[in-house]
Structure 1
Amino acid sequence: MSRYMLIMRSTPAAEEFVAENIDFTEIIAAMGRYNEELIKAGVLLAGEGLTPPEEGFVVDFDADPPVVTDGPYTEAKELFNGFWILDVSSKEEAKQWARKCPLGPGVKLEVRRVSEIDEFPQDNEWVQREIQWKADMAEKLAADARKAAGR
């Protein structure tokens, strides 16, 4: 299995069109149906929508120290609006799921494979630390789930 990230991007014009012409409950319903299909297929690992750019900021590393600029970003041609992370059998399966996403004109879905830890040098100290961090996080999540379930 391979993990793929589907990155939802749209233009400010597309955002404005949707806000003025499409009922938000319709958007939520379409996304809900899509997410449910991903869950039932057992491929959805994560997925979230993002707040508007007015609530965010950009860190520009062209300067030293890096410059932080609060949103909105007047130079933005595309807005990163949300993402899904899928665990699928192949790039082709990722393409099939991406094509089903209920998005409209002015929106693009960039799909990228998530690197796996075993693709990096296993004798590297930082790779070993990341492996341990992930094991610790999995243990913590399991403990939190047991606690929430009252065990």
Structure 2
Amino acid sequence: MRVMVIVKATEDSEQGRMPSMELLTAMGAFNDELIKAGIMLAGDGVKPTATGYRIAFDGDTRTVRPGPFGHTTEQLAGFWIWQVKDMEEALAWAKRCPNPMPGPSELEIRPLYEEADFM
């Protein structure tokens, strides 16, 4: 099963504050473990919502709105796509993750749709 592991934004990430070298090194080592285990398919950090846009759809109408967007804790700061046996394996790997932010932070894990889900 594939899952998306979402790193939730914090005030630091939304302000564009870069992680310390210590944290970057720890996250790099964790990513290396994921790759060696055949778990990590993709992953990256995203820039603050102030650098992005939202496009709202209503029939044929498109409305473009520049960031920043809403509550920080509801935003995305980064992600991984993992290939795991089941949700328990995803949770086990997530628990091993270094804290991805300088202060309190949160990960969210959600299964991705697979072709079989549409059959």
Matching residue of 2:64: 68
Of structures 1 and 2, the larger Rg is shown by: 1
Structure having greater relative contact order (Cα 8 Å, sep ≥ 6): 2
Matches within 5 A, 1:1-150: 2-12=1-11, 14-15=12-13, 19=17, 24-61=20-57, 65-73=61-69, 75-78=70-73, 79-103=75-99, 104=101, 105-121=103-119
Give the helix-richer structure, 1 or 2: 1
Structure 1 unaligned blocks of 5 or more: 122-151
- Indicate the percent of aligned positions where both proteins have the same amino acid: 39
Distance 1:16 1:59, change over 3 A: closer
Structure 1 length-normalised TM: 0.66
SS at match of 1:27: helix
CA RMSD of aligned residues (A): 2.4
Distance 2:81 2:15 in 1: 27
Distance 2:72 2:14 in 1: 13
- For these two proteins, the number of residue pairs brought into alignment is 116
Structure 2 length-normalised TM: 0.82
Structure 2 unaligned blocks of 5 or more: none
